[in-house]
Amino acid sequence: MSAIDELFTNLRSEGRKALMPFVTAGDPDLEFTAAVIQEVVARGASMCEVGIPYSDPIADGPVIQASYTRALDQGVKLSAILDTLQSIAPKVTAPLVTMVSYAIVYRHGLAQYADELVERGVAGMIVPDLPVEESPQLAEVCRTRDLSLIQLVTPTTPRERALKITETSSGFLYYVSVAGITGERTELPPELVERVAWLREQTPLPVCIGFGISQPEHVRLLAPVADGLIVGSAIVRRVAEASTKGRKETLKEISEYVASLVAALA
């Protein structure tokens, strides 16, 4: 059983749902990334997703794209990111996962990337641009290491294809709430609840919703139908304000924001 399997087993037995913040590694630097991760976990986050900056992101909106650009301009390297995660993992109670382009994993080597995550105490990887046709090899690499391979299902994914994605996914399924890119939204599609409910009936895997979730109202709406909720742009935007507001004030604001989302899950 992977760390993520264990997390959702415990949450389900307690009747609770997961809040999963996303942060960009290295924006504005890895020291602050580490501080944000530890703070959001301390305020009740169940898991933390760490974005590996990439020059050509697939589905990220302007807020996360800008954060990737800032991190890359600072010269952040994959090895330094993984070293930082290794230093954080023993200090937090929540599993850490990397959000990473398949191009990076492929270039690094599937087995090597997986081994480096395991060695550093990272629980899994989300690979948003991994085609289901190419997923079995990476899925097997992850399975033999108790490492979760989290894949995405979108509103435009045909149901037959969604079922194929469940077959090579592990840990949980990442359900994309809207057709489009990441970013904060005031409203979510009315059919979202129905689509997630259908998917949960097809697989024993937990189903977690991301893209556009930014308000306690979203959390209250979706918590009954989802196993977890993912919040990215709203946190990344606040991190970007550290250069003007100061790091201490920014960290406090992120902490209070995450606490409000966790409270909405109750």
Based on the residue annotation, tell me whether 49 is a catalytic residue of this protein: yes
Q: 212: pLDDT confidence band, cut at 50, 70 and 90?
A: confident
Q: For the CA atoms of the chain, what is the radius of gyration?
A: 17
Catalytic residue from among 29, 39, 49, 184: 49
Residue 266 has pLDDT above 90, yes or no: no
For the entire predicted model, the pTM comes to: 0.92
What tens digit of pLDDT does each residue of 69-106 get?
999 999 999 999 999 999 999 999 999 999 999 999 99
Q: 25: pLDDT confidence band, cut at 50, 70 and 90?
A: very high
What tens digit of pLDDT does each residue of 154-187 get?
988 999 999 999 999 999 999 998 654 444 444 5
Domains along the sequence of the chain with CATH: 3-265 (3.20.20.70)
Based on the residue annotation, tell me whether 83 is a catalytic residue of this protein: no
Q: State the pLDDT at residue 186.
A: 47
Catalytic residue from among 29, 60, 116, 227: 60
